[in-house]
Protein backbone atom coordinates (compact mmCIF):
# COMPACT_ATOMS: atom_id res chain seq x y z
CA UNK A 1 0.00 0.00 0.00
CA UNK A 2 1.25 3.47 -0.85
CA UNK A 3 0.95 6.33 1.60
CA UNK A 4 1.15 10.05 1.07
CA UNK A 5 2.86 12.30 3.59
CA UNK A 6 2.10 11.51 7.25
CA UNK A 7 -0.82 9.18 6.39
CA UNK A 8 1.49 6.20 6.98
CA UNK A 9 1.13 6.82 10.73
CA UNK A 10 -2.61 6.10 10.44
CA UNK A 11 -1.79 2.45 9.68
CA UNK A 12 -1.98 0.61 13.02
CA UNK A 13 0.68 -1.98 12.15
CA UNK A 14 3.14 0.61 10.87
CA UNK A 15 2.55 2.90 13.85
CA UNK A 16 2.98 0.04 16.33
CA UNK A 17 6.30 -0.92 14.74
CA UNK A 18 7.38 2.71 14.68
CA UNK A 19 6.67 3.14 18.40
CA UNK A 20 8.53 -0.06 19.25
CA UNK A 21 11.61 1.13 17.37
CA UNK A 22 11.31 4.73 18.58
CA UNK A 23 11.15 3.85 22.28
CA UNK A 24 13.91 1.24 22.43
CA UNK A 25 16.88 2.08 24.65
CA UNK A 26 19.34 2.14 21.75
CA UNK A 27 17.20 4.46 19.63
CA UNK A 28 19.23 7.31 18.08
CA UNK A 29 16.65 9.65 19.57
CA UNK A 30 17.52 8.44 23.08
CA UNK A 31 21.27 8.18 22.54
CA UNK A 32 21.97 11.34 20.51
CA UNK A 33 19.04 13.69 20.23
CA UNK A 34 17.46 13.63 23.69
CA UNK A 35 20.65 14.42 25.65
CA UNK A 36 21.44 17.35 23.34
CA UNK A 37 17.88 18.66 23.50
CA UNK A 38 17.84 18.43 27.29
CA UNK A 39 21.16 20.31 27.45
CA UNK A 40 19.80 23.06 25.19
CA UNK A 41 16.62 23.36 27.28
CA UNK A 42 18.58 23.65 30.50
CA UNK A 43 17.20 23.58 34.02
CA UNK A 44 13.44 24.04 34.02
CA UNK A 45 12.92 23.58 37.73
CA UNK A 46 10.28 25.99 38.97
CA UNK A 47 9.21 27.00 35.45
CA UNK A 48 5.57 26.99 34.32
CA UNK A 49 4.25 25.67 31.04
CA UNK A 50 1.48 27.75 29.54
CA UNK A 51 0.57 25.33 26.78
The model's pTM: 0.58
Q: pLDDT at position 1, please?
A: 67
- Report yes or no: 16 and 8 within 8 Å, Cβ to Cβ: no
> Would you say residue 23 lies in a domain?
yes
pLDDT at 14: 93
Distances from the Cα of 25 to the Cα of 15, 16, 18, 29, 49, angstroms: 18, 16, 14, 9, 27
| Percent of the chain clearing pLDDT 70 (strictly above) | 98
Within-domain flag for 11: yes
> Is 46 within the bounds of a domain?
no
Number of structural domains the chain divides into: 1
Range of the domain at 35: 5-41
User: In this structure, is residue 26 part of a structural domain?
Assistant: yes
Residue 6: burial class (beta carbons within 10 Å; 0-12, 13-18, 19+) = exposed
Amino acid sequence: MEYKDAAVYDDDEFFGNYLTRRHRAESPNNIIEKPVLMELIGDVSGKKCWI
